[in-house]
Amino acid sequence: MCGNCGCSELGDLPIHTHHQPEHSKNEKIRSLTITQSILSKNDRLAERNRNYFLAKGLLVLNILSSPGSGKTALIERTITERTTEMAEDASAIASSLQDRLKVGVVVGDLETDNDAKRLRSTGASAIQITTGGVCHLEAEMVLQASQNLNLDLIDLLIIENVGNLVCPAAYDLGESLRVVLLSVTEGEDKPLKYPTMFKSADVIIVNKIDIAEAVEFDREQALTNIQKIAPEATIFEVSARTGVGMEAWYDYLEEKMHKGFSHKGFSTEDASRSQTDIA
Amino acid sequence: MHEVSIMSQTLEIATENAQQQGANQIHRLKMRIGEMSGVVPEALNFAFDVVTEGTIAQGAKLEMEIVPVVCYCPHCQIEFQPPDLFYECPQCDRLSNKIIAGREIELTSLEIS
């Protein structure tokens, strides 16, 4: 008996021929089991970056936020204040080898190299990646760009991601620490609106606290939201413009530089199981 | 809108697998999308139509299985499905950041000929 329509395959050929073409068509369609993480390629490249940066002894920060939260300002102040301070330390202790904290920056934007120019004026080496419309940085872009920096001469590599709280969350770059910024003008419920990003953060920095009062920022509510969404993240409250609260951030960075630290990464176990078989 | 690049990569993987099997048409793609993956299924559907145009997957059907978030509480050593964005262990009320499912963006199977 035919499995499709129940008609007898024995004898009554003229009736059976009506669905013969369909049978042969169905037989041709095959099912193929794959089970592959779409981002497995980026995850692999990110892991390669992580090992590479680790071998170079670099602390790598991936800095993320909405456009205009103050990523560039935070990096600028971190570079200028921290490097100056460490230079003073070095002159105080003449024998110290650590004369200056050397920073390299890779900065991603859809267009223009304004941010790289701005960062270069601090004396740091900065490489601009213009993604040409791509809304996030990927591991491969970071590796390519970092080849234009002399990684042997720097201690801290800061990656300023494209201003976007959605897409970059999914892309591991091989960073040691993922730093997410939230400025007080964005509202205290931002972590609730973009949980994927905030849950992926190792560090969350509340920026622009110098104007918190003017924009009626509910600090307690914001901190509660952050802690509930990202219970393991380290939180800093700063103004990158005035410098308030930055000291704690520097101390944290310095501690991490001495200790060495690796971001948990994003490759799920699923990424490793990739199998192909015909069902 | 990284859904377009996600979908392009999906199509790349699908095409490669289909061609390895000697197929010249993809009829159906099945994916698993985690609730906490940061990908919007509607946007993926839209991107699918755009990126498959003129390829061996043109006209194919895209099926997405949404994977709910599953967390692990290291204190109670249990897995649980959080009812909201706060991943609070139902036994000890501690917040967990250990997500063991819900971040997937996977291609699981194809129908080819």
**CATH code of the domain covering residue A133:** 3.40.50.300
Residues A95 and A182 in one domain: yes
Q: How far apart are CA A39 and CA A45, in angstroms?
A: 10
Residues in chain B: 113
The number of beta carbons lying within 10 Å of the beta carbon of residue A75 is 25
Instruction: State residue A263's pLDDT score.
Output: 54
Residues A115 and A8 in one domain: no
Q: Does B104 touch chain A (CB under 8 A)?
A: yes
The answer to whether A229 contacts B85, with C-beta atoms less than 8 Å apart, is yes
Instruction: State residue A179's pLDDT score.
Output: 98
Q: How far apart are the first and last CA of chain A?
A: 24
The number of beta carbons lying within 10 Å of the beta carbon of residue B28 is 15
Q: How far apart are CA A46 and CA A142, in angstroms?
A: 9
In a domain, B23, yes or no: yes
Dihedral sign, CA of A229, B104, A42, B39? negative
A81: exposed, middle or buried (Cβ count in 10 Å: 0-12, 13-18, 19+): middle
Are the beta carbons of A139 and A42 closer than 8 angstroms?
yes
Residues A25 and A44 in one domain: no
In a domain, B38, yes or no: yes
Tell me the three state secondary structure of residue A36: strand
Instruction: State residue A278's pLDDT score.
Output: 37
In a domain, B94, yes or no: no
Please indicate whether residue A189 or residue A12 has the higher confidence score (pLDDT): A189
Which residues does chain A have within 8 Å of residue B2's beta carbon, measured at their own beta carbons? Answer: 134-136, 166-167, 170
| Residue A5, domain extent | 1-30
> Residue A81's pLDDT band (boundaries 50, 70, 90)?
confident
Residues A162 and A122 in one domain: yes
In a domain, B79, yes or no: no
The answer to whether A38 contacts B2, with C-beta atoms less than 8 Å apart, is no
Report pLDDT digits (tens) over A144-196: 999 999 999 899 999 999 999 999 999 999 999 999 999 999 999 999 999 99
Residues A125 and A168 in one domain: yes
| Residue B56, domain extent | 3-68+102-112
Residues A21 and A54 in one domain: no
Residues 65-94 of B with CB under 8 A from A: 85-86
Instruction: State residue A133's pLDDT score.
Output: 83
Report pLDDT digits (tens) over A13-39: 444 444 444 444 555 899 999 999 999
In a domain, A269, yes or no: no
Instruction: State residue A134's pLDDT score.
Output: 86
In a domain, B73, yes or no: no
In a domain, A167, yes or no: yes
Tell me the three state secondary structure of residue A254: helix
> Could you give the number of structural domains in chain B?
1
Q: What is the CA radius of gyration of chain B?
A: 17
In a domain, A108, yes or no: yes
Question: Which residues of chain B are modeled with pLDDT < 70?
Answer: 1
Instruction: State residue A21's pLDDT score.
Output: 44
Best CA proximity match to A75, nearest among A141, A125, A149: A125
Best CA proximity match to A241, nearest among A65, A66, A71, A67: A71
Are the beta carbons of A145 and A106 closer than 8 angstroms?
yes
Of A28, A30, A134, the CB nearest to B5: A134
In a domain, A279, yes or no: no
Q: How far apart are CA A59 and CA A54, in angstroms?
A: 8
Specify the CATH number for the domain of residue B52: 3.30.2320.50
Residues A5 and A128 in one domain: no
Q: Does B52 touch chain A (CB under 8 A)?
A: no
Instruction: State residue A241's pLDDT score.
Output: 96
Q: How far apart are CA A212 and CA A220, in angstroms?
A: 12
Are the beta carbons of A230 and A204 closer than 8 angstroms?
yes
In a domain, A273, yes or no: no
In a domain, A268, yes or no: no
Residues A82 and A114 in one domain: yes
Instruction: State residue A262's pLDDT score.
Output: 52
In a domain, B56, yes or no: yes
By mean pLDDT, which of A20-24, A99-103, A106-110, A194-198 is the weakest?
A20-24
Residues A15 and A78 in one domain: no
Closest-approach residue (CA) in chain B for A31:
B111
Q: How far apart are CA A85 and CA A83, in angstroms?
A: 5
By mean pLDDT, which of A72-86, A111-125, A257-271 is the weakest?
A257-271
Instruction: State residue B97's pLDDT score.
Output: 87
Share of chain A above pLDDT 90, in %: 67
* Residues in contact with B77: Cβ distance below 8 Å, sequence separation at least 6, in sequence order: none
Are the beta carbons of A155 and A70 closer than 8 angstroms?
no
Q: Per mean pLDDT, which of A24-38, A81-95, A204-218 is the most reliable?
A: A204-218
Whether residue A5 is predicted with pLDDT greater than 60 in this model: the reply is no
> Could you give the number of structural domains in chain A?
2
Which residues does chain B have within 8 Å of residue A135's beta carbon, measured at their own beta carbons? Answer: 1-2
Residue B85 structure tokens: 């964005």
Residues A18 and A114 in one domain: no
> Residue A261's pLDDT band (boundaries 50, 70, 90)?
low
The answer to whether A32 contacts B109, with C-beta atoms less than 8 Å apart, is yes
Instruction: State residue A2's pLDDT score.
Output: 41
Residue A101 structure tokens: 């904290």
In a domain, B82, yes or no: no
Residues A125 and A18 in one domain: no
Residues A25 and A61 in one domain: no
